[in-house]
Amino acid sequence: MIPHFWSVLLSAAWLYWIWRAYRWQRLAVGRRPPPPTLERYPSLSVVRPIKGLDTGIEENIRAALDHGYPGEVETLFVFDDAREPALPLVEKALAKRKRAGQTVDAGIILCGPPPARRTGKLNAMIAGFREAHNELIAFVDSDVRQDRDALKILVETLLASDRAGVAFAPVVATEPPITIGDVGYALMINGLYEPTAIATADRFGGELPFIMGEFMVFKREAVAAIGGLETAEGQLVDDMFLGLRLYERGYRNRMSPHPVAVVQQGASIGEFLPVLVRWIAFSRSGLPARSFKLHHWLIGTAFWTGLILALPAAADGRVFAAVLAGLIPGSIALMMNELHHRMGGARLPLKYSWVALALWLVAPLIYARVFTVREVDWRGRRYRLDTEARLAPESHGGRSAR
């Protein structure tokens, strides 16, 4: 048993660290100056892989076509095959714009299922890149709903530095949550991953050694310098790996100050937990330990230290020590909820204030699942992983049993 004095001192030290961590992220989230505007905006090809039906997919498609970019844009929607359920929605949106007399520079690509050692997303990116004609190449996930400034600011961020090879935008879950799964999803994005990424980039002058690839734009010469997108074959987290390769070749990965909305609503707990498993698997092979994951490890250590100190102190009647230690997990939950709101997420109802605590309580079980069952489900496909959380040699992105 830890003596009373040391228990109180350790609890106070962790509480101080949590306050500093919150302040660091809060200031960075609020301090994102825009890049300078351009005299000329280069032509842009936007590749949007689509697999399955995302929440609000029709609104996402409309936003993709109503992009607001001041230069020439072609938009390429990439599907596995003609049976994809979102394909008719894209055709309907394109036809509607043509009937309205609006200019439509967009196309549909059928890329087929991914070969072995290649994710479905990477396969679609490669197919789109081959068909793209313009100077810069952007890749956008299908659950992203951009506003009319997002592409413009993304390109401005890329071209503000000669050393930049890619620019990417942070994402924010903006939709009001309907279910507990929605709350967990929003807290993981808005309360944990994205604030840490923004604060880390702020510390390094707006750059990261990896990419968070929901909304990103590349210079063609940068892609060529790393041997093409194919260099990410065998990687589960292909976008983060591409960023690392660019960083190793002397290019810089710039973070846009303008976030984009990622849309998720109505997810059950059973649907959210595989997403959480996938994120943990992504973090194992895609994120650098010292500059990024260390912060999350420290939060987890603080959370469980608080519980371990509070329970025996309460059992022994040491009220002050128990309360002080119990404030540690409570402060972590409060920090995540506040960062979620500061990132632009809808205020969470009071009845969901416990979800942040639950995420850390189940975290050891999720990690155990990732290390013992080396498979992840991602957009209707099941990938087998090796011991390093990369694609196993026999992995071919087979259809998920779900």
Q: Note the CATH architecture for domain 35-182+204-268.
A: Alpha-Beta Complex (3.90)
Provide, rounded to the nearest whole percent, the portion of the chain with pLDDT above 70: 95
The H or E element spanning position 402 is: none
Could you list the beta-strand ranges (E) of 53-135.
Answer: 73-79, 106-110
- Contact between 240 and 210 under an 8 Å Cβ cutoff? The reply is yes
Could you list the beta-strand ranges (E) of 98-214.
Answer: 106-110, 136-140, 144-145, 164-168, 171-172, 207-208
The residue behind tokens 């968070």 is: 212
Q: Domain map of the chain by residue range?
A: 4-27+288-395, 35-182+204-268
Does the pLDDT of residue 401 top 50, yes or no? no
Tell me the pLDDT tens digit for each residue of 359-389. Answer: 999 989 888 887 787 777 777 788 887 877 7
Does the pLDDT of residue 286 top 70, yes or no? no
The residue behind tokens 């994951």 is: 293
In this prediction, residues 234-240 reach a mean pLDDT of: 86
pLDDT, residue 268, reads: 85
Nearest to residue 362, comparing CAs of 235, 287, 273, 292? 273
Tell me the pLDDT tens digit for each residue of 61-95. Answer: 999 999 999 999 999 999 999 999 999 999 999 99
Question: 317: Cβ–Cβ under 8 A, 6 or more apart, which residues?
Answer: none
What average pLDDT does the chain have? 90
Write down the H helix ranges in 287-317: 294-315
pLDDT, residue 26, reads: 95
What tokens does 340 get?
């979620």
